[in-house]
Amino acid sequence: MSEEKGVHELYAVDPEKADELVWGRKSDKLSRRGFVKGSGLAAMTAVLGASIPFAKYMPGGLIPAAVAQSNEAFTIQGKSGLTILNDRPINAETPAHLLDDAITPASRMFVRNNGIPPSTSGIDPLQWEIHIEGESCERPQVFTLGEIQQRFKHHTLQLQLECGGNGRSEFYPPAKGNQWTTGAIACPNWTGVRLKDLLAECGVADSAVYVAYEAADSHLSGDPTKQPISRGVPIHKALENESMIVWAMNGEPLPELHGFPVRMLCAGWPASVSGKWLTRILVRDRVHDGAKMMGQSYRVPCEPVLPGASVADEDMRIIESMPVKSLITFPKSGLELSGDARLHMRGHAWAGDARVKVVETSIDFGASWQKAKLKKPANRLAWQHWAANLEFPQLGYYEVWARATDEAGRSQPMVLPEWNPRGYLNNACHRIAVMVTA
């Protein structure tokens, strides 16, 4: 289950697991000393706001005294109010009511890691190298980030990123993986260059099929020969104006957990195709076969299946554009409202590669729907803001549901979409509880 835990509770259950969850580094199980190094040390010093001169002597499973003084729910440095999911290193989601900003601030953006982030503290970001190569790359080249910033036109766009497993916790039977509720979605402003401009400089052969990334994060096993994730997109998606190589979020350098110093961004598709800590771009003459591209990773059945059914790998398809979806960001679920008051509510809606055409709300469990006021997106592949005013006919318990429909007429299901083994693409209507009292 998705839980928010105080730091003492985390360490009381399993100190070694807490080390891995909170700091992203496994402790030395023999001596339980010297675990604080690399990315683990970077995470801890970021939380403490200072270096740790004797970190090499610090026992594994020890809560830093500065953190141990409080049992408030542990918060990741630079984040505010996120809920830590406890089955992978540093994965955290944002409660819906904290996503109310029109442009998602870095402090409210969800965190999704497949491996251990690299230690980038103290590096010169302008010297970071990106290799562009592959079977269908005509002129393989190596660029530093500084060269990219100097040679190519800069663009700033507001672009959505959503984890393919957002909403997984609602599927039954349960699917394996982080049990996201609704908060693995964000839509900040990003600054960088168009991926297609870099590819044009290097030459894309007619044989090009896919564009993929490799990154600097390390595998959870510690095996340097294994990659935690290396995914990509078909060539047509890579060549869109909104597919970018970015180094800034909301006018500031990328936070370390979001790919500092540079990442790939292909909005509207599962966020797993937008590789962080980018080191290599591959122009492939085939569908990319990197880590998390094969088997059932980020794939759904080609045809509907019964809940709980086993599906052969060959009967699964790669997820591309994300489905239409909406979120109620105000008010927070559980609101008590005076019987004569109107409810002013708002939220966001998005539809992968498409545009949202209408958002509706219901107070009678979907028996009837009222159209909300919907704004245009800031640019293609940005979410759209909506607002509605509701009145309630009598005192009692209500659920307010929100439903979006895209320009192709595809609407959110009221309860759950078709089941799939990995719990991807849940775009069921978001709902909140409202109690109307005298």
Strands (E) in 188-331, as ranges, are 189-194, 210-215, 232-234, 244-249, 252-253, 263-265, 278-284, 299-301, 316-318, 325-330
Q: Are 105 and 87 in contact (CB under 8 A)?
A: no
pLDDT number for residue 341? 85
Measured at the alpha carbon of residue 252, what is the angle toward residues 282 and 127, in degrees to the nearest 5?
45
pLDDT number for residue 92? 93
pLDDT-based confidence at residue 393 (cuts at 50, 70, 90): very high
pLDDT-based confidence at residue 24 (cuts at 50, 70, 90): low
Judge if pTM exceeds 0.85.
no
* Domain-wise residue ranges, the chain: 1-74, 125-318, 325-437
Q: Are 327 and 347 in contact (CB under 8 A)?
A: yes
pLDDT number for residue 438? 87
pLDDT number for residue 131? 98
Q: Which CATH superfamily is domain 125-318 in?
A: Oxidoreductase, molybdopterin-binding domain (3.90.420.10)
DSSP, collapsed to helix, strand or coil, labels residue 384 as: strand
CATH of domain 325-437: 2.60.40.650
**What is the spatial order of strands in the sheet that 430-437 belongs to?**
335-338, 430-437, 396-406, 356-362, 370-371
Q: What is the mean pLDDT of residues 151-160?
A: 98
pLDDT number for residue 27? 46
pLDDT-based confidence at residue 67 (cuts at 50, 70, 90): low
pLDDT number for residue 415? 86
Q: Are 66 and 197 in contact (CB under 8 A)?
A: no
pLDDT number for residue 31? 36
Q: Out of 63-77, 262-276, 325-339, 367-381, which region has the weakest mean confidence (pLDDT)?
A: 63-77
* pLDDT for residue 33 is more than 50: no
pLDDT number for residue 221? 87
Tell me what the pLDDT averaged over the chain comes to: 88
Quick: pLDDT tens for 161-214: 999 999 999 999 999 889 999 999 999 999 999 999 999 999 999 999 999 999
pLDDT-based confidence at residue 29 (cuts at 50, 70, 90): very low
pLDDT number for residue 70? 46
pLDDT-based confidence at residue 40 (cuts at 50, 70, 90): low
* pLDDT for residue 137 is more than 50: yes
